[in-house]
Structure 1
Amino acid sequence: MRDDAHRIPPLRAGRRPAGRALLGWLADERAPRLCRVAGSPGSGKSHLLRWLAEAGSDPAAPDGRRVRAVLDGERLTFDAALWLLGRQLGHLVRTPDDLLAALADDGGRTVVCVPDLGRAVHPSQLVGQLLRPMVELENVRMVVEAPDGGAAAAAFGDAVAGPAVLDLDLPQWTDRERYADWAAGLGADPSGYPSPGAATGPAERPGHASGRELIGRVPRHPDGTPDLPGAGPALLGALWTAAAREESVDSLLSDPHLLVYADPVAVTAALDGLEGALPRAWATAGPALVGEDDPGVRAAALRTRLLGMDADAVERLAAVPGPWQPVWAMWPDSSFGWPGPVSGLAVGAARYAGQLLLADPSGVIRTVDAASGRPLARVARDEPGPLRGMAVGSDGSVLLLDSRGGTSVVPDHEGAPAAAALGQALDALAEACQGELSVLTVYGPGIPAVADDSGTVCWLRADGVVVEKLHEGPVTALAGTSELLVSGGFDGTVRLWTAAGSGASAAPFDARPAAVGALAAADTVDGPVVAVGWADGLVRIRPASGGDVREVRFGSAVWALALTDGLLVAGTAEGVAAVRY
């Protein structure tokens, strides 16, 4: 099927009427926001929803038909569903309220497909606590596989003044002639009309094999050890499901490789409600694990969360090749200590050389050894309070931007002339900016730069203050190197320019449909490098001149970033972590 430039994949077994009915439901602004696809086993419910998801994934699909998220109900838990939805919809969420608020702010239509909802771990909980509240939002359309009489259908009830119901057992949704041609082409029985399963026989579902049977199916290396990558995520996921059913999950936790090579949705279900370092680390890193296809990425994210928690698991997971290597971290209950949430980071200079400055949400500033994370001291402030920004000048003076948009300087020592000059420069920049200051940084030999909530960046050049509007909405992050300045905005764009030049390029350095939450930039032997953290938890590290991009996810929103000596350091609501990229 084809609708103008929008390619619609073929829908066989005479199901075009059902497909057109779904497309018509999406096109009708007056239609119910929920469509429930019903029918007996073998009637093609899952196939129809996956067809709609494929059709809606075409970039040429009209906005109203574009499917933004697909949740496969098989083994799905509440947590896994929340993490998957957040990842697919571009938000890092920990609670349904987080997701609902983000969706309400999005404004545009969000279409969600949920095949096999009845095979979720707790369908009623999933519907009652997540899916039904979602579909009550005016900008959400949801199509779910939920047959009459099932727990999922009952949990939806008459959501949003009653759902539309597409019952595939009713003959009007199947073209009899096309059904007969399809059956004849397969040598199947056309008398099964309108059910494809009645013609071909129902699709076989994998049985409940025992854990012992599933272990026997895992291939082996020549030395007899299990080949977990060769086993594949589906088989290992089934092993976790069997272990949960047989109450033998502890036996699998003895090999952390089983966590990262298995289907992460199945692992999440098996670990649900368990205590211990590994289940806790999995739960905190969950948004970076569920929905991630690369076992190496999952291993790196899980190792980062296990630092200071389970040294044996960290060492064993190091054997899984990953795109980055965790070096140190401080989380709650970590043996390395815990500074609390970290909302600001700055690379030290002069007396702070080799150190990082960490600010918490209340404005307390601590120093740690950059290479190891070892706590060192605190930075004394005359007027403690929450901070929006923090940077360190080349003389060791600490530049601060408070929560009211005011600037101050903590000098390297009492009455330092350089600190007074920095204070004067900050005052001049604040006066030149058009709005309330939102971020600050230093570049070159410790020269300050600031930006504001109107999208304007202000920096010093030899001929005076430069003022340029670079973003739509507030500037949310700012970073500098010896020659470059980098800004990120609520608009999701990142701009980069030479501070001595005429201003930022018209083309963004990077852009994504999420607000920029943090930036860092550093000079390296190969040239300047920039790290960008967006609000959905993705961090990208790339050379300022272009080239290979390294992506990192910690499973948390990143509040602050720093680049120092080949390390990426991230401040989050749970603590701080440093990884070698």
Structure 2
Amino acid sequence: MHVVLPAPGMTVRAALWTLAHRLGVAARTPAELLTAMAESGGRTVICVPGLDRAADPGRLVGELLNPLLRLSQVRLVVEAPDGSPEALGLTAVPEAAVLDLDHPQWTDRARFEAWCAAVGADAAAYPSPGRALGVAGRPEPRGVAELAALVPRTPDGTPDPAGAGEQLLAELWTATGREGGTAQLLADPTLLTYAGPVAVTAALEGQAGPVAAAWDAAGPALVAEPDPAIRAAVLRTRLIGLDDAAVARLGTVAAPWRAAWGLWPDSSVGWPGPVAALAVGAGRYAGQLLLADPGGTIRTVDAATGTPVAGVELPSPKPLRGVTVTQDGHLVLLDAWGGLELLPAEGTDAAQAQTAAAALQGAAGADLSVLHAVGGLPAEAPAVADEAGRVYWRQGGQVLAERLHQGPVTALGGAVRGGRAVLASGGLDGAVRLWSPGAAPVAEPLDRRDPLVSAVAAAETPAGLLVAAAWADGLTRLRLVGSPEPLLELRLGTQVWALTLAPGRVVLGTADGVAAVDFGA
């Protein structure tokens, strides 16, 4: 078994998010999941217990399980009552192998009797553990009023979701979805984050409003996260600028990290669009962050508050892979075709920078893929990397190169440590590597996971060199160099395309917008 997908209470959305997380891919639609699995190539065996107890078994079969079965490398092991509509609906394969657990040959009598003796069950009910336990059928579900009365209250009379427990709140949300009337529960968003996320996802199916929309946006992170406090931090992040009351209520839950600001669609503050690249400003952009969308529009925001400042006027907007600002204040763009373009800082002689950019472009043995300007390297030029796994930098009037990855370099960042530049790179190979230009590369990567690295950043801190890395499945990990355990791991529910670090803060550019997260280290 590669993945277990417990079907009870699952909607198609929850099942999709759960499968994507457990398979290590980013997918928000069944089509995206099927594409990712088809590209992986390896056989995948998925176990689906309790199919008949899904929130909508027919939809789960039709929209997700049958399409999965049509992939030649996928096998499903499904538990469902024999002859039930759910079992009969699995029509993507002409014949399924059926194991009927009511047949005695599948249960060892001696072990069954020993188990009955241990738990006080009736051994005469062999081979059915349900009948042995005296379970005649499913109990009638409790109603909203009965369940709500069981939720403990704080001294001021407000619900105490932390004291209620995840199971009770999950049952409450399931009953609310069944009977209707979710508005009253949505008034306190902590009731969502302390409940089982699968039950909440089912109850919010088709609901409108900022909290329901934020839950949908963050869903892949929420169903994957076991800690209610972190679920509260994720949901709060996605509600900044959209529902101030919900943000304040969720902010009462203590979590290891907390968003300082965020810019999302329909935000009251503003929205920069998808953030494909991030850069820390210098010169005329000092104190600002530059946010580039995939189409080539660049906007600036105040780095401390996220307040939008202005747009950057470009001679000819075009799709961008990267943007960076050199120490001299020159803006350097990397377009979708691997071409470098330099926009000189006002009042400066950019001839040297133009020469350096042309030299870097000419030295590359493949299309350039990423770039980053870092102190400790010559001020007029950034470091760049290409599709062949090499990184280039300019030193002493020459372009030097080092091959660091198998396949394309997909992310580049850097910091200054002891007066020397330290560059961090990530690749299609899933590896995150550190090295100083001119020194021999370290044999082992700093970090490695299966998905490609979508963004990296590095910063020198009082505790040591800190590296942030994001992978294509949506995980961002912060690690102090030399520490065996990550300092922080977080997910926001979408892919992270760009990262920057500031003291105690990481800024994440995503397909949905941008957020600044404080982690206090």
Tell me the TM-score normalized by structure 2: 0.93
Q: 1:370 touches 1:564 (CA, 8 Å); kept in 2?
A: no
- 2:30 paired residue among 96, 99, 102: 96
Q: Distance in 2 between matches of 1:181 and 1:399?
A: 73
Q: 1:545-560 alignment to 2 at 5 Å?
A: 545-546=482-483, 548-560=486-498
Q: 1:299 touches 1:317 (CA, 8 Å); kept in 2?
A: yes
Q: 1:232-251 alignment to 2 at 5 Å?
A: 232-251=165-184
- 1:454 paired residue among 388, 393, 415: 388
Give 1:449 deviation, angstroms: 0.9
For structure 2, which runs of at least 5 residues remain unmatched after alignment? none
Q: 1:347 touches 1:564 (CA, 8 Å); kept in 2?
A: no
**Which residue does 2:367 correspond to in 1?**
436
- 1:361 paired residue among 294, 304, 322: 294
**Which residue does 1:140 correspond to in 2?**
74
Give 1:352 deviation, angstroms: 0.6
Instruction: Give, as a single letter, the amino acid of the residue that structure 2 aligns with 1:448.
Output: P
Distance 1:393 1:207, change over 3 A: same
Q: Indicate the SS of the match to 2:269.
A: coil
Q: 1:400-549 alignment to 2 at 5 Å?
A: 400-413=333-346, 416-417=348-349, 419-445=350-376, 446=379, 447-462=381-396, 464-482=398-416, 483-499=421-437, 501-546=438-483, 548-549=486-487
Q: Indicate the SS of the match to 2:270.
A: coil
Distance 1:548 1:178, change over 3 A: closer
Instruction: Give, as a single letter, the amino acid of the residue that structure 2 aligns with 1:129.
Output: E
Give 1:525 deviation, angstroms: 4.0
**Which residue does 1:34 correspond to in 2?**
none
- Provide, for residues 455-476 of structure 1, a one-character-per-residue CA deviation record: whole Å limited to 9, x for no partner: 1111234484332211111100
Q: 1:68-217 alignment to 2 at 5 Å?
A: 68-157=2-91, 159-183=92-116, 188-202=121-135, 205=138, 207-217=140-150
Distance 1:224 1:405, change over 3 A: closer
Q: 2:294 touches 2:321 (CA, 8 Å); kept in 1?
A: no
1:297 aligns with 2:236: no
Distance 1:279 1:225, change over 3 A: closer
Q: Distance in 1 between matches of 2:344 and 2:334?
A: 14
Q: Distance in 2 between matches of 1:186 and 1:282?
A: 41
Q: 2:477 touches 2:486 (CA, 8 Å); kept in 1?
A: no
Q: 1:422 touches 1:448 (CA, 8 Å); kept in 2?
A: no
Distance 1:346 1:186, change over 3 A: closer
Q: Indicate the SS of the match to 2:147.
A: helix
Give 1:298 deviation, angstroms: 0.6
Q: Distance in 2 between matches of 1:526 and 1:291?
A: 30
Q: 1:364-383 alignment to 2 at 5 Å?
A: 364-383=297-316
Moved more, 128-137 or 453-462: 453-462
Q: Indicate the SS of the match to 1:339.
A: coil
Give 1:498 deviation, angstroms: 2.1
Q: Distance in 1 between matches of 2:201 and 2:232?
A: 15
Instruction: Give, as a single letter, the amino acid of the residue that structure 2 aligns with 1:558.
Output: V
Q: Distance in 2 between matches of 1:409 and 1:175?
A: 74
Give 1:93 deviation, angstroms: 0.9
Give 1:490 deviation, angstroms: 0.7
Number of aligned residues: 511
Give 1:329 deviation, angstroms: 1.4
Give 1:408 deviation, angstroms: 1.4
Q: 1:349 touches 1:396 (CA, 8 Å); kept in 2?
A: yes
Give 1:102 deviation, angstroms: 0.8
**Which residue does 1:13 correspond to in 2?**
none
Give 1:119 deviation, angstroms: 0.8
- Provide, for residues 274-309 of structure 1, a one-character-per-residue CA deviation record: whole Å limited to 9, x for no partner: 101110111111011012101111111101110111
Aligned-CA RMSD value: 2.0
For structure 1, which runs of at least 5 residues remain unmatched after alignment? 1-66
**Which residue does 1:231 correspond to in 2?**
164
Give 1:526 deviation, angstroms: 3.7
Q: Distance in 1 between matches of 2:120 and 2:415?
A: 69
Give 1:527 deviation, angstroms: 3.6
Q: 2:505 touches 2:516 (CA, 8 Å); kept in 1?
A: yes
Give 1:82 deviation, angstroms: 0.7
Q: Distance in 1 between matches of 2:401 and 2:108?
A: 65
Q: Indicate the SS of the match to 1:528.
A: strand
Q: Indicate the SS of the match to 1:266.
A: helix
Instruction: Give, as a single letter, the amino acid of the residue that structure 1 aligns with 2:372.
Output: T
Q: Distance in 1 between matches of 2:253 and 2:113?
A: 51
Q: Distance in 1 between matches of 2:298 and 2:183?
A: 41
Q: Distance in 2 between matches of 1:312 and 1:365?
A: 31
Q: 2:3 touches 2:47 (CA, 8 Å); kept in 1?
A: yes
- 2:202 paired residue among 263, 269, 284: 269
- Provide, for residues 92-149 of structure 1, a one-character-per-residue CA deviation record: whole Å limited to 9, x for no partner: 2110111011111112221211111111111111111111111221221211112123
Q: 2:430 touches 2:452 (CA, 8 Å); kept in 1?
A: yes
Tell me the TM-score normalized by structure 1: 0.84
Distance 1:191 1:382, change over 3 A: same
Q: Indicate the SS of the match to 1:381.
A: coil
Moved more, 508-517 or 373-382: 373-382
Moved more, 401-410 or 216-225: 216-225
Give 1:577 deviation, angstroms: 1.5
Q: Indicate the SS of the match to 2:148.
A: helix
Q: 1:75 touches 1:266 (CA, 8 Å); kept in 2?
A: yes
**Which residue does 1:287 correspond to in 2?**
220
Q: Distance in 2 between matches of 1:203 and 1:571?
A: 53
Give 1:257 deviation, angstroms: 1.1
Q: Distance in 2 between matches of 1:294 and 1:261?
A: 8
Q: Distance in 2 between matches of 1:487 and 1:481?
A: 12
Q: Distance in 2 between matches of 1:192 and 1:475?
A: 62
Q: Distance in 1 between matches of 2:193 and 2:116?
A: 42
Distance 1:113 1:168, change over 3 A: same
Distance 1:377 1:178, change over 3 A: closer
Q: Distance in 2 between matches of 1:82 and 1:251?
A: 28
Q: Distance in 2 between matches of 1:553 and 1:165?
A: 39
Give 1:199 deviation, angstroms: 2.6
**Which residue does 1:49 correspond to in 2?**
none
Q: 1:536 touches 1:557 (CA, 8 Å); kept in 2?
A: yes
Give 1:188 deviation, angstroms: 4.0
- Provide, for residues 434-461 of structure 1, a one-character-per-residue CA deviation record: whole Å limited to 9, x for no partner: 2211111112254411111111111234
Instruction: Give, as a single letter, the amino acid of the residue that structure 2 aligns with 1:115.
Output: P
Identity percentage of aligned residues: 54
